[in-house]
Amino acid sequence: MALEEPEDKEVEILTFGTLVGGSGTNSHRWKDAVWDLSWRIDGVAKTHTSPLKLNVVFHIPGNMLKPEFSGVRTGSYFKKLAALMVQVALPEELAEDVPAYIEHVTHLAIDEAARWAVKRRLEFDAALFHDIVERAGGSSSSNNAA
């Protein structure tokens, strides 16, 4: 569910988005891997609740736009929805194992959200989010891909 949904709808605890910078040799592979993990996470995360929701947005380089940052960073916080956006810049070159890389950087995004929550004294159970990604992911090497 996107963060722009009407106020009366419940926001899922872990959602994904993409910002694709145009066509490119690898942009479809990155996008497909993000949406595959997102689809699998939907099935796992439905039964969980969290006082702080997380929206991970992957910036995928293309022929028109490339991320102006590298790694992960916090984005906007939507207080009404209690949702934090964390942005992930993907490289132009594909990782050797694309699904494992997406899982790995999702774990990094969770860690970034945890740091942000500590600074603001907000409750955030990073272990729950890591567990959701682990259970939904198909890669046993997700924490070692980089």
Q: Does 3 reside within a domain? A: no
pLDDT at 54 over 70: yes
Q: Does 106 reside within a domain? A: yes
Burial 87-118 (b: 16+ CB within 10 A, else e): bbbbeeeebebbbbbbbbbbbbbbebbbebbe
**Segment 46-59 mean pLDDT:** 95
C-alpha span between 31 and 94 (Å, rounded) = 11
pLDDT at 91 over 90: yes
Give the DSSP letter of residue 51.
S
Between 93 and 146, the higher pLDDT residue: 93
**Segment 8-30 mean pLDDT:** 87
pLDDT at 5 over 50: no
Q: Does 43 reside within a domain? A: yes
Task: Say which range, 7-11, 62-66, 108-112, 131-135, has the weakest mean pLDDT.
Answer: 7-11
Q: Does 6 reside within a domain? A: no
Measuring CA to CA, how many Å separate 77 from each of 35, 84, 101? Answer: 22, 4, 25
Beta bridge partners of 77: 84
**Residue percentage of the chain with pLDDT more than 70:** 87
Q: Does 143 reside within a domain? A: no
Q: What's the pLDDT score for residue 142?
A: 40
Q: Does 76 reside within a domain? A: yes
Q: Using one digit for the tens of pLDDT, what is the confidence trace for 128-142? A: 999 999 999 865 444
Q: Does 145 reside within a domain? A: no
pLDDT at 145 over 80: no
Please tell me the total count of domains within the chain.
Answer: 1
Q: Does 9 reside within a domain? A: no
pTM given for the model: 0.87
Q: Which domain holds residue 132?
A: 14-136
Q: Using one digit for the tens of pLDDT, what is the confidence trace for 31-47? A: 999 999 999 999 899 88
pLDDT at 24 over 60: yes
Q: What's the pLDDT score for residue 146?
A: 42
